């Protein structure tokens, strides 16, 4: 499957992952014999269409340069920011001279090491002709309850047929993503993922069904599940 425009990837990895309750940032925890971020980057590198990957790091990060994968020619680094949105914007700035407005950017969580090549290919295929872009997501399966503000009390039951759980990669045109993030940050708009910036700017974001295996490591239980999934994949190969 070919794209008519270039494709780049940005991996924000400047966070500390406080909910893991570990001294080491979650992207550097060991799972299935490698660090989380090594698994993540290896999965992205399997995508032949990628021109390169920009990893956005904390200014105090001394761990990434020590990883063997950091020496891969397709990978470059830049400084992250205080927020995910600022880190991604820094990543976009790092490749500014190498991209056109309509080129594609994949933004992927460093803590999603179980993303599959098939899911990435599906996202590219479903989004390649779109003027804006799209995200991997899962339709809600469970009954969803909305709580009252600051209370663990049900306010209402949501229509789950209208609710999707966002994942990454999220794939957008370079110019639209950079402009939306920049304007939202200038106005102190709360941006939780790249899609929310595009939504705020008035663009329609496609929903592409992903895989339940594409988990994000946030808690110790997630790390154990990722270990299981990655180990099973190795056995199946």
State the pLDDT at residue 150: 86
What gap in Å lies between CA 77 and CA 52, rounded to an integer? Answer: 11
Local confidence band at 147 (pLDDT 50, 70, 90 cut-offs): very high
Reported as a single tens digit per residue, the pLDDT across 215-229 is: 999 999 999 999 999
Number of continuous H segments (helices) and E segments (strands) in the chain: 6, 11
Distance, CA of 106 to CA of 122 (rounded, Å): 13
Q: How many CB atoms lie within 10 A of CB 150?
A: 6
pLDDT given for residue 3 in this prediction: 83
The interaxial angle of helices 84-94 and 174-186, nearest 10 deg, is: 140
Per residue in 86-109, pLDDT (tens digit) is: 999 999 999 999 999 999 999 999
Closest CA to 195 of 105, 82, 96, 100: 105
Confidence of residue 19 (pLDDT cuts 50, 70, 90): low
Cα atoms in the 13 Å half-sphere on the side-chain side of 218: 4
Q: Which residues pair with 82 in a beta bridge?
A: none
Token digits of residue 204: 């329609």
Residue 18, pLDDT score: 58
Per-residue model confidence as pLDDT tens digits over 25-67: 999 999 999 999 999 999 999 999 999 999 999 999 999 999 9
Show the tokens assigned to 100.
Answer: 């056109």
Q: Is the pTM of this model over 0.85?
A: yes
Percent of the chain with pLDDT over 90: 90
Structural domains in the chain? 7-236 (3.90.550.10)
């Amino acid at each position: 499957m070919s794209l008519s425009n270039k494709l780049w990837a940005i991996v924000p990895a400047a966070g500390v992952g406080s909910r893991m309750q570990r001294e080491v940032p979650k992207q550097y925890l060991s799972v299935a014999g490698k660090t989380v971020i090594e698994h993540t980057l290896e999965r992205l590198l399997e995508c032949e269409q990628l021109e390169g990957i920009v990893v956005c790091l904390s200014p105090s990060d001394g761990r990434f340069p020590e990883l063997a994968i950091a020496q891969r020619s397709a990978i470059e680094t830049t400084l992250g920011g205080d927020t995910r949105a600022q880190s991604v914007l820094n990543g976009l700035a790092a490749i500014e001279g190498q991209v056109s407005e309509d080129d594609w950017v994949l933004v992927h969580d460093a803590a999603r090491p179980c993303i599959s090549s098939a899911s990435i290919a599906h996202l590219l295929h479903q989004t390649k002709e779109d003027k804006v872009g799209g995200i991997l997501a899962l339709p809600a399966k469970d009954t969803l309850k909305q709580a009252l503000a600051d209370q663990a009390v049900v306010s209402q039951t949501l229509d789950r047929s209208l609710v999707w759980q966002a994942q990454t990669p999220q794939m957008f045109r370079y110019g639209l993503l950079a402009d939306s993030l920049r304007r939202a940050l200038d106005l102190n708009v709360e941006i939780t993922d790249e899609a929310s910036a595009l939504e705020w700017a008035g663009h329609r974001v496609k929903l592409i069904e992903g895989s339940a295996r594409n988990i994000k490591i946030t808690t110790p239980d997630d790390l154990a599940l990722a270990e299981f999934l990655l180990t099973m994949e190795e056995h199946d190969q």
